[in-house]
């Protein structure tokens, strides 16, 4: 079995964006499982990501296991000897399967009410998407969005990895939810930008207002020209004023670096030009600056300007850029 595929399917289920085909595939893996290492590893990884409040006691896990393995969708093949890790899988499926996935689990003869599509944008590019409700999404290079083909339920829910700008059509009775891992940004109608990478989540609002939460824990309310930063590892939240227009200038092909460190700039430039920037001297990461590139400058032009501003040298080889301290000029010996 393919561990990454199983892990992906489990993620779709627990995040409530699995479709009927993917659900059947996952149930097939679980029903046909023996002591398969890939399946066990994927389930262990998913279980480890649950917060302590979400994890169940052993007796609760066993009870949920019995409910799942007795479901008609699950028992398509003979069930092998019960294993502890499989009862963990059952706990995950029932504990976190809500909305579309719960509907599938308990109404086995029906299909999923929501059909999701997926759009991935290659690094170094950007792409615009029009949603079924008239909302507009811009996706930055290296980003992926899962979104419904139509919005038929009580909410409009999407799943983002990477960076996206959302200009949302207002609907009083159908909130717009963007899930980024365990964090959800909720709006009725507004324009905002989300950066959702592994180490940090950033939400900037152009107009309107959004609320940001992790599970049942509110992280903050963000209004126009404010920015919320959240670090999932240490749970730190910061809310500050910003020029939100600069945050979304990338949708117009403009690269604006506003009061960033060289380390932060390296991430942005890397995704913009599909390059990797490495530092020969870690001290160079701390340099802070602002610069705007509004005319489609190439990577060489960008690096020339930034290196002059920050006083470093650089070397480009393929798609790798190495930044180093400038070597001091040698003094000519006096005669």
**What's the CATH number where 171 sits?**
2.60.120.1440
Considering the domain architecture, whether residues 207 and 157 belong to the same structural domain is answered as: yes
Q: What is the per-residue pLDDT for 12? A: 75
Considering the domain architecture, whether residues 156 and 266 belong to the same structural domain is answered as: no
Residue 316 CA to residue 207 CA, distance in Å, equals 40
Where does a domain end: 74, 106, 138? 106
**Residues across the chain:** 335
Give the predicted TM-score (pTM) of the model: 0.62
Domain that holds residue 8: 3-106
In a domain, 334, yes or no: no
Look at the block and give the residue holding tokens 């709006």: 187
Concatenate the DSSP letters of all residues of 36-58 into one string.
-HHHHHHHHHHHHTS-TTT---H
In a domain, 81, yes or no: yes
Look at the block and give the residue holding tokens 């227009």: 245
Q: What is the per-residue pLDDT for 93? A: 54
Q: Is 78 exposed, middle or buried (0-12, 13-18, 19+ CB in 10 A)?
A: exposed
Considering the domain architecture, whether residues 241 and 259 belong to the same structural domain is answered as: no
Q: What is the per-residue pLDDT for 120? A: 93
Helices (H) and strands (E) in the chain, counts: 9, 18
Where are the strands (E) in 232-283, listed by range?
236-241, 255-261, 276-279
Domain of 292, CATH number, reads: 3.55.50.30
Q: Residues 32, 36, 42, 48: is their CA dihedral positive or negative?
A: positive
Residue 182 CA to residue 150 CA, distance in Å, equals 23
Considering the domain architecture, whether residues 13 and 85 belong to the same structural domain is answered as: yes
Per-residue pLDDT tens listing for the chain (335 residues) = 566 777 777 777 666 567 767 777 777 766 565 555 665 666 666 656 654 444 445 554 455 445 544 544 444 444 444 444 455 455 555 544 433 344 444 444 444 456 789 999 998 889 999 999 999 999 999 899 999 988 988 899 999 999 999 999 999 889 999 999 889 999 977 999 999 887 789 999 999 999 999 988 999 999 999 999 999 888 999 999 998 888 899 999 898 888 889 998 998 899 889 999 999 999 999 989 998 888 889 999 999 999 998 889 999 999 999 999 876 655 656 65
Considering the domain architecture, whether residues 243 and 121 belong to the same structural domain is answered as: yes
Q: What is the per-residue pLDDT for 83? A: 46
């Amino acid at each position: 079995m393919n561990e990454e595929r199983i892990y992906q399917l489990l993620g779709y289920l627990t995040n409530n964006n699995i479709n009927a085909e993917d659900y059947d595939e996952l149930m097939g893996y679980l029903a046909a499982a023996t002591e398969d290492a890939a399946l066990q590893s994927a389930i262990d990884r998913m279980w480890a990501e649950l917060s302590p409040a979400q994890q169940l006691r052993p007796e609760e896990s066993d009870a949920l296991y019995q409910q799942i393995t007795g479901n008609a969708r699950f028992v398509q093949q003979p069930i092998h000897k019960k294993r502890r890790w499989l009862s963990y899988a059952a706990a995950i499926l029932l504990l976190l399967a809500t909305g579309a996935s719960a509907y599938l689990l308990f109404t086995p003869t029906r299909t999923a009410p929501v059909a999701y599509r997926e759009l991935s944008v290659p690094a170094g590019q950007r792409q615009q998407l029009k949603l079924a409700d008239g909302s507009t999404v811009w996706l930055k290079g290296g980003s992926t969005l899962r979104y419904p083909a139509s919005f038929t339920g009580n909410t409009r829910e999407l799943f983002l990895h990477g960076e996206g700008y959302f200009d949302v059509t207002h609907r009083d009775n159908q909130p717009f939810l963007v899930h980024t891992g365990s964090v959800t940004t909720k709006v009725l109608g507004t324009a905002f930008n989300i950066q959702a990478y592994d180490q940090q989540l950033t939400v900037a609002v152009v107009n309107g207002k959004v609320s940001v939460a992790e599970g049942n824990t509110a992280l903050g309310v963000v209004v126009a020209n404010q920015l919320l930063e959240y670090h999932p590892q240490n749970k730190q939240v910061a809310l500050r004023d910003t020029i939100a227009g600069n945050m979304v200038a990338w949708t117009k092909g403009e690269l604006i670096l506003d009061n960033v460190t060289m380390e932060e700039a390296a991430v942005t430039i890397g995704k913009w030009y599909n390059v990797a920037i490495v530092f020969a001297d870690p001290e160079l990461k701390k340099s802070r600056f602002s610069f705007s590139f509004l005319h489609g400058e190439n990577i060489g032009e960008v690096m020339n300007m930034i290196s002059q501003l920050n006083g470093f040298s650089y070397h480009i080889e393929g798609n790798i850029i190495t930044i180093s301290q400038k070597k001091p000029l040698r003094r000519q010996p006096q005669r």
